[in-house]
Each structure stands twice: as structure tokens, then as C-alpha cells.
Structure 1
Amino acid sequence: MEYSELEMLIVRIRKISGFDFSGYARPSLLRRASRYLTTHKMDFPQLLAYIEQGGNVVYGLIQELTVNYSEMFRDADFFMKVKAEVFTYLESYPTLRFWVAGCASGEEAYSLAIFLKEAGFLNRSLIYATDLSNKALTAAREGIFTLGNVRTFSENYLAAGGKHSLSDYYHVAYNKAAMLPELRRNIVFSMHDLTGDGVFNEFQFVSCRNVMIYFTLELRQKVFRLLYDSLSMLGFLCLGKRETLRYSGLEENFKVIDSTLNIYQKIR
């Protein structure tokens, strides 16, 4: 696929579905669109004709173009810092609301729930985990992972300072690992589009990690405003290691908790 064809595809998707990819970085979007053509054994004219069917067809394409990879306890140093700095600050709150934006298949949401349980305040916490992909959200609600992935998750859990064994938090059936219901009941999985939807709650903690690296600067600024407006005063914002508040226009409204891990606290 050529860049000129990608621009045509963006216009066509917006016309058919209303979803706007214009704020997405072109190189990563081109790679994903090209992979879609290869996987589905199509050329570009066939793809344009295919998505004219609308409905589930174009929606399926949108989901494949926006899918994100994640794993439980990804970046152990991040979770250790959250437990040491953020949890310590939040432990006196009577109720807590967390938002994991771009939750993929729920890996970070379940990681957060496990460490909240170990800290002793999962029962007074509610985690909102959102994504654009309904396919990813369906998998997240099920909370079922392959045993191969769980082996990696277990190593990550221990590296992040887990107190027990990750096996304490899932049961195995049919060669799959299913997260325990007590974790799932404190997580609300729902659809939300960071690029188009608005504020839907006020949170003490917002994690939006490794999502905005796919956005243009203009779109990042728009999303930063949404995240800022979603945070309660003195709430915490967590970004990916390759993301930063720089050029957001909101830097002065945050205190830097960790400049390497990109953890910030809203101060105005």
C-alpha cells in the first residue's frame, strides 16, 4: 500500500463509519493497513470495494488498525514506582477510581487489580478499562490467557515486586488461565474512543501508556486535554516510556513524579 492509497482509505473509512484516522501517525497506520491486505489476501481496490459493505466489515477493519499489544506487569519498574509513590499517596482515600485507557485485552487492568489487592484497597477501588476495539474488550472481560503468556506474566509479576505467586490469582482449565472473579468484579470494561469521546468520570489515577505514540502532535494535544479533564485534583497521570507531556500545553499543571517513567501528578 502507498501513502496516497492510505489517505484515500482514511477518507473512505470516515465517510462510511464516521471514525477519523486523520490524527494517527501515518507510518504505523500504513504498516497495519498493509498487514491487513496481506492477511486477507486483498489488493487496495478490493479493500475499498470490501469496506463499502459497511457495518461489521468496516468496523472489523477499524479494530485491526487500532489493536495494541500488551502484557501483564509490563515494565516492572513502572509498577514498583506506582506501588511506592502513588499507592502510598492514595491509600487514605475512602473510594478510588482508576482509568486504564487503551486497555487492549485487559492485561494492565488485571495487573493493577492484583497490586491493589495486595495493597489492601481493591475492595474500595473501581477500575474503568476502556478500548476502541470490541474484540479486545470481549477478550478482556473473559480474562483468559494462554499458559505460555502467563509464564511471561509470572516473571513480570515477580520482577515488579509481587508478594505471592501469580498462580494465586487465576485458575487453570483446558490449558488456559482464567483470572479470578474477585479481580473481574472490580473492573468495568467498556468502549471509549480517546480521539472522539469525552470525559465520562473523575479519576484519581489515569494510565494511558503506549497509546499516543501512534497519534500526531495535534491529536496528542487533544487527548492530553481529555486526560487532564478526567483527573481529580492531585490525581496521577501515567504515560508510556516513549511518551511525554512536553508540547501538550499542560506541563505547568502537573508535578513530575518520575521523569523516566513519565508519572505525573495534577497540581492545578
Structure 2
Amino acid sequence: MLMRPAELAAIRAGEVDLAFRRWDRPRLKVGTKMRTAVGLVEVTSVDRVPVSSLTAADARRAGAASLAALRQGLDRVHPERPVYRVGLRYAGADPRQVLREAVPDAAELDSIGTRLDRLDRASPSGPWTRATLLLIDELPATRAPELAQRLGRDTPSFKQNVRKLKERGLTESLDIGYRLSARGAAFLDHEGHPRSPATPRPGTPLPHLGAPATRALAARGVASLEQVADLTAAEVQALHGVGPYALRHLRAALDAAGLTFREPSP
């Protein structure tokens, strides 16, 4: 079930607890916990409902601007399909996040190595786990197709492999590309692999904004909040890929850092 970043943020904040979708059949089961960018979102109900039964309260709980806007959105794609009312709630942090922030002891690090050895032996294309971790360490925040090309792999299979590493808490996804987690870095150090020296970027890192907004800012040469503060809000909003969600999160991050957008010239 696809959900926009703004929708996910509202679910986490408790402002949205419903979603409406046109499906040919129920696509989710009650109790399912979906992993999302904000953590776990649990499905609390799935009911088929007639469009005529929708109310203004439903629209508010789904984060729609109005009942009319909710109905228009549902009529935009596959209007012939029935409507399902999906109850949602924020169910806490993604367990993988907790895992990747926990630095394991020597015994657990040996166990991680054993599990990665099994993945390597099961791979029809040969060992890949350490090479993938080292490449992500060398080139964080790099697009998956570029990383896959460096390893001579196709992008879908490369992404599938990275997901296996992420399940073990060794990597984490960024708006663009990946980086090693503290757990992944500790594992490479434990095995004695030569690692790229950390080169922190100057300034305060950008918050998670979504790939389109991150790409738009990167194309403008903006990689920190201090650089964002050199721009007006109108200049940032004019960048293709920067929508209301990204602008709202930039404002909040600037405020937390004691910064603001540059005031427009008179």
C-alpha cells in the first residue's frame, strides 16, 4: 500500500488514521504491520464501503482537504473498483532501526559473519555481502544503479541484496542511496576490512525530504541546512521536486537549528 510522505507523517503524529483505496479485492489484512519511512504502520481494519457512505469526518481522518476532494481522488484511478476503508495507526519504530543502532559484541559480530557467509554460498553469482558493504561505505548517498554498475550487477538484484543487509541492520536507506549503520561499520571493522575514512560534510545535514526534493537541492548544490538558509522559501519551493511536505520539514529543521530562510530582497 503506497502512502505519500505527508500521509505517513500525519499517521505518525496521530492526525490521520484512515485511508481509502479502490481495490479489486482487499489487499491488506487486519494486524499487518507495514514498514515505512516513519516506522511501523499497523492495519486496524479493512472494510468495503459505498462511496455514498463517506462523510466529512472520514475525509478529515484521511487527511483530505474535504469530502469532495476525497471523492475526486477516489474517482481519479480505477473508478470501477469498489472502495475500501482502511484503518491505520502508528505502531512504533522499525525494529531494523533499533537493530542498526545497536553495536554488537564480538560474539554477535562473529554470528553476523556466519549468516553473511550463508548468503554468499547461496548466491548463484558468487560472494557479494562484503563487497556490497564496502561499496556502500565508500560511496554513501549514491544511487543504486550506479552502485550496481560498479559491481557488474543489474539494479533489481542489487537492491534485493541490499534489502537482505538492511534486514540484518547493517545498512540504512537514505533519500538517495544508502549508508552503513553503526552495526555495519562495526562488522567491517571486526573483520579487518579496509574502510573509507569518514569525511563528514560541513554544516547541519538535511532532514529526510524524499528523493525528488533531495535531488532538486543537490542539483542546486545544497547539502546542508546552512546552505538552505542562504535561499528564500520561494527559491526553494520553485525547485522541481520540492513540494509542501519537503518545505514544511525544511522549515521545522531550520527552526530547530536556529536558522531561517533568507528574506527576499525588497
TM-score, normalization: structure 2? 0.28
In our comparison, the structure showing a higher alpha carbon Rg is: 2
Higher strand share: 1
Tell me the TM-score normalized by structure 1.
0.28
